DNA sequence: TGAACATATGAATAATTGCTCATATATTAG
DNA sequence: CTAATATATGAGCAATTATTCATATGTTCA
């Protein structure tokens, strides 16, 4: 066969096709990876974690994380574009808060994985 | 004050300290970002999505995703180190499966965010 | 209007990362 | 043991990205 990407002889064609038919659309998986990528940065996770408590302005967050307002603003833009936070303008000040509560669920679900006791495979060996 | 990281005058000290006292430990947040980072790649999300259906060997996955066994093996190592997948050896063949079911919850929670209708802020404007 | 300030953004740079290629390890068959 | 095969891994390269610095935008107050 010419349409092989792996020179192995042992691939289970039926199993592969069964899985392929059940996979979400390419675009969905791409967007999903993009979403997780946004969570996958220490600065942004800290911002999200802080906004889980209360809304904060850009300078509050900068002060909280000991970082420059500029870098925070850059990261808030990423979070905005991912629909994770929303701004509320009050004069010169912009307050940010979380955009919906899926975010808390995602965050907590991640925490559970982090904090759970190690499985047997990883303990031994 | 000398310990300011933001030259703004408007930061709410009390609010910042209140949030700071409630933030998870630095290390927890770091690990959490690392976990999400693992989900934040298209190839790895596809692997996870496939393993949600059934266990697969390295070559199955390579064939499924039209990628080289080498690149899949590299990514499986990342997934292993994050305790997201576990190997099962059968002769020369190594079958991978998901390590626990937090993973499905995380995956589904992410999907919900992706698929939900856009909020009002993002729709208008 | 103009100065001060909070935030946003573009460009540049340093660090990270995913893939490829070459090679190593491990298992099975002969 | 040797050849063949499935997987793992190290080095190198190209692409992505988080931060900094300079500058722009927008709001308030005199």
Task: Please name the helix (run of DSSP H) or strand (run of DSSP E) that holds residue A51, with its range, or none.
Answer: helix A42-51
Question: How many domains is chain A built from?
Answer: 1
Distance in Å, alpha carbon of A115 to nearest chain B alpha carbon: 8
Residues ≥6 apart with Cβ < 8 Å to A107: A39, A48, A49, A52, B32
Q: What is the CATH number of the domain that holds B104?
A: 1.10.10.10
How far apart are alpha carbons A53 and A51 in whole angstroms? 5
Give B-chain residues touching A77 at CB under 8 angstroms.
Answer: none
Is A93 in CB contact (< 8 Å) with chain B?
yes
Of B89, B34, B82, B83, nearest to B58 (Cα)? B89
Residue B24 has pLDDT above 90, yes or no: yes
Q: Which nucleotides of C are covered by protein (CB under 7 A)?
A: 5-11, 17-23, 26-28
pLDDT at B8 over 90: no
- Measure CB to CB from residue A39 to each of B16, B36, B67 and give the nearest one: B36
pLDDT band at A122 (very low <50, low <70, confident <90, very high): very low
- The pLDDT of B88-92, averaged and rounded, is 95
Chain B CB contacts of A115 below 8 Å: 28
pLDDT at A44 over 60: yes
- Cβ contact (<8 Å) for B29 and A42? yes
Residue A10 lies in a domain: no
Token couple for A19? 């899985």
With bands split at pLDDT 50, 70 and 90, how would you rate the model's confidence at B4? low
Q: Is residue A68 part of a domain?
A: yes
Domain containing A99 equals 24-111
**What per-residue confidence (pLDDT) applies to A100?**
84
Residue B57 per-residue DSSP state: E
Q: 């060996």: which residue's tokens?
A: A125
Residue A92, in any domain of the structure: yes
The confidence band for B117, taking pLDDT boundaries of 50, 70 and 90, is low
Query: Is B108 an interface residue toward A (CB < 8 Å)?
Result: no
Q: Nearest-CA residue to the C1' of D27?
A: A92
* Residue of B58, B59, B122 best to disrupt the A interface, most CBs of A under 10 A: B59
User: With bands split at pLDDT 50, 70 and 90, how would you rate the model's confidence at B18?
Assistant: very high
What pLDDT score does A38 carry?
Answer: 97
B28–A59 C-beta distance less than 8 A: no
pLDDT at B102 over 50: yes
CA distance A46 to B82: 20
Structural domain contains residue A33 = yes
Over range A37-56, report the average pLDDT: 97
- Residue A32, domain member (yes or no): yes
A57, A63, A102 ranked by CB distance to B5: nearest? A63
pLDDT of res. B7: 65
pLDDT at A124 (0 to 100): 33
- pLDDT for residue B118 is more than 70: no
Q: Is B83 left (phi over 0), alpha (psi -120 to 50) or beta?
A: left
pLDDT digits (tens, 9 = 90+) for A107-119: 999 998 888 766 5
d(CA A89, nearest CA chain B) in Å: 13
Distance B71 CA to D9 C1' (A): 11
**What is the rounded average pLDDT of the residues A78-94?**
95
Quickly state the pLDDT bin for B92 (edges 50, 70, 90): very high
Q: Residue range B90-104: average pLDDT?
A: 93
The length of chain B is 125
What pLDDT is stored for residue A4 in this prediction? 58
The separation, in Å, between residue B108 CA and nucleotide C25 C1' comes to 37
Q: Would residue B17 count as lying in a domain?
A: no
Q: Which two tokens mark B7?
A: 């030259």
Model confidence band, residue B122 (pLDDT cutoffs 50, 70, 90): very low
Looking at the DSSP bridge assignments, the partners of residue A85 are: A98
Task: Give residue for tokens 């060997």.
Answer: B57
Q: Which residues contact B8 (CB under 8 A, 6 or more apart)?
A: A59, A62, A63, A69
pLDDT at A37 over 70: yes
> Above 60 in pLDDT, residue B120?
no
Task: Specify the pLDDT at position B33.
Answer: 97
CB A125 under 7 Å to nucleic chain D: no
Average pLDDT over residues B45-64: 97
| Nucleic strand C under 7 Å from the C-beta of B4 | no
**Domain contains A89:** yes
Higher pLDDT, A64 or A125: A64
Residue A119 lies in a domain: no
Q: Per-residue pLDDT for A2 more than 50?
A: no
């Amino acid at each position: 066969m010419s349409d092989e990407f792996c020179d192995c002889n042992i691939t289970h064609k039926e199993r592969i096709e069964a899985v392929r038919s059940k996979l979400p659309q390419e675009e969905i998986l791409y967007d999903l990876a993009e979403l997780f990528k946004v969570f996958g940065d220490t600065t942004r996770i800290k911002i999200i974690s802080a906004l889980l408590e209360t809304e904060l302005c850009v300078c509050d967050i900068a002060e909280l994380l000991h970082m420059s307002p500029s870098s925070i603003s850059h990261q808030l833009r990423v979070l905005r574009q991912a629909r994770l936070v929303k701004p509320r303008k009050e004069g010169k000040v912009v307050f940010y808060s979380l955009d919906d509560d899926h975010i808390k669920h995602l965050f907590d679900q991640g925490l559970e994985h982090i904090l759970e006791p190690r499985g047997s495979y990883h303990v031994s060996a």
